[in-house]
Copies of this chain bind each other. A is one copy, B any other.
């Protein structure tokens, strides 16, 4: 199996993980992956049902968005994915869903506070929300501008330390070193968003974990001193 086929398989798997975890309705959502050496992005085709999607349906494009291989039209969110790959050299996979709790936070225009250790295990700080796009940005280059709004918001944030964002009035994007990790982070984000929603409704004044606890949990699972799992 060549590189491109492997990438397609991993992108298909990431898309199907979204279905298995109940994050998508009908054909909503999309996952992609990148081959940095060859400068190629593999992404879900637009509007195709998940239950009949095959690896060969995954569309391969170059970094300008031109299709290099595949018969179907790529996801309509392609240019957001490409912008994230350009701005975040450390990532290898991107996922977009309208998962319901994360989307509710995005619609409310509120960042998800770091209310607890579940959050801190994955996100080293609040999950940020972009600024609303201007009327001009919601034009011809809307999809690209969505990417730019995200990368602008991450100007001072390490994208691997907080591998998720809420696009205001829209929905979340997540990412990771691989398509599988991006999908995993989408699942975790939704669980964190559910718990944060309920925490906020229990007590609107609630202020989240301390910096020490945030660091302790985050670095338990990430970085050179991680102690979690078998390794």
Contact = CB atoms under 8 A, between A and B. Distances in A.
B73 A171 contact: no
Interface string A182-210: 00100110010011111111110010111
Nearest to A100: B195
A177 B110 CA distance: 37
Interface in A29-46: 45-46
B170 A116 contact: yes
A109 interface: yes
A80 to B, nearest CB: 12
Number of copies: 4
A118 B133 contact: no
Contact of A104 (B46, B110, B202): B202
Interface in A201-226: 201-203, 206, 208-210, 212-213, 216, 220
Contact of A199 (B45, B108, B201, B212): B108
A138 B216 contact: yes
Nearest to A48: B230
Contact of A106 (B72, B116, B200, B220): B116
B203 A138 contact: no
Given A103-B116, A199-B108, A213 B133 contact: yes
